Amino acid sequence: MAIETTTTINGSAVTHTPAPLDASKLVITLATELKPLPKPESLVFGVEQTDHMLVVHYDPIEGWSAPEIKPYGPLSLDPMSSCFQYCPNVFEGMKAYAGPSGEPRLFRPKDNMARLSRSVERVALPPFDMEQLLILIQRLIKIESRWIPDVPGHSLYIRPTVIGTRAALGVAASDSACIYVIMSPCGPYFRGVAKGISLLGVSESVRAWPGGTGGHKLGLNYAPGFLPQRVAAKQGYDQILWLLGDEDRVTEVGAMNFFMAVKADDGGVDLITPPLDGTILPGITRASTLTLARAHTSGQIVLPGLSGVKLHIHERALAMAEIAALSDAGRILEAFGVGTAVIVAPVGKIGWKGRDLQLPVHTGGLGPIGKGFWDMLTAVQTGRTEFEDWSVPCL
């Protein structure tokens, strides 16, 4: 629904009604020559671009322009654009999968749109209609469906992005914006992780802090982690385990949410993950993992390979001292990170205060708990298994 606003132009207040985002105005210009498809085994995450992209601009007077699907190419932006100066840059990570009949499918796309909208609001960018953007993304996927690899563990990664384009250096919210959506075919995010990924616990640098922006998917959350990641890599670790506070509370693993499975006193399994306290991104895969765990516990479903295994779900603070104590006592069954890019990735080692905590290593990488989630998630994502309304065919 269009909202009437007031803008000051040449010192005078002007009342107007900016146009809402409207998928019915879509203009499609197809590429005259299509790229050859890469071999699935050659795919590196986020390197290949598909043939087309979606672009739509927001002007404070006119509102949202007619959306365009056009050949992939550079954007033209004013050097003073807010996105370059003050980083009002927001993005989402989604994937399209090949369904049982080859049809393209999205996984919980409304949740991605809702999170994108919350992130846009957090940095005061112009709002948009979530349903209309999702319609446009589905149109783009249909056009680019040949790029979805029909190979297990592969998918088409989708990156909806919203940037501030106000062409002025004044420190203020951007009243202009650009939404663009680009896509890239991808295979496994980590390859060769039979021993699990290794983590370096870092508390000297923080990814996010209480009252900050860690709970939103903003570009500004990522750049400060590049230097610590480089330091960790030089020490032989794959990713950073971000720690917070004097007690070294676990927050995130690189750009993933962290889970740990521990032997419970009743013979079951305590599944522990840190709570969403504003420093942790509310991952769609995290939420899905918790929902599937609760459905397994209630008897609604049985996770593959976990028949008879009782899961106790705990969203609570998890400090490194507790992890070390559990490791020393031999109670940790497995640990893993979850996220859109990786789905589920095993953790094999955590470096903390000069020692390495060696976690259980399982054949093929994932232990039975992580493997159960992986199998169930990928079955639902590809439409091979129905659960709730998570798998959405692109119409």
In 3-state terms, what secondary structure has residue 189? coil
Q: Give the total residue count for the chain.
A: 395
Buried/exposed 314-338: b ≥16 CB within 10 Å, e otherwise: eeeebbbebbbebbeeeebbbbbbb
Q: Are 187 and 154 in contact (CB under 8 A)?
A: yes
Q: Are 252 and 122 in contact (CB under 8 A)?
A: no
Tokens of 117: 């909208």
Distance CA 159, CA 95 (A): 9
Q: Which residue has the tokens 């400090």?
A: 319
Residues 112/113/115/116 CA torsion (nearest 10 deg): 110
348 by Cβ neighbours in 10 Å (0-12 / 13-18 / 19+) ranks as buried
**Residue 107 belongs to what H/E stretch?**
strand 104-107
Q: Residue 9: its pLDDT value, please?
A: 58
| Domains detected in the chain | 18-186 (3.30.470.10), 197-393 (3.20.10.10)
Q: Are 187 and 43 in contact (CB under 8 A)?
A: yes
3-state helix, strand, coil in the chain (%, to 5): 25, 30, 45
pTM of the model: 0.94
Q: Are 287 and 295 in contact (CB under 8 A)?
A: no
Q: What is the pairing mode between strands 311-315 and 269-273?
A: parallel
Q: 286: how many CB neighbours lie within 10 A of its CB? A: 23
Buried/exposed 61-81: b ≥16 CB within 10 Å, e otherwise: eebbbebbbeeeeeeeeeeeb
Contacts of 270 (CB under 8 A, 6+ apart): 261, 262, 263, 264, 312, 314
Sign of CA dihedral 10, 16, 22, 26: negative
Type of residue numbered 351: G
In the chain, which residues have pLDDT < 70?
1-13, 192, 194
Give residue-wise pLDDT tens across range 243-254: 999 999 999 998
In 3-state terms, what secondary structure has residue 194? coil
DSSP state at residue 280: S
Distance CA 356, CA 372 (A): 27
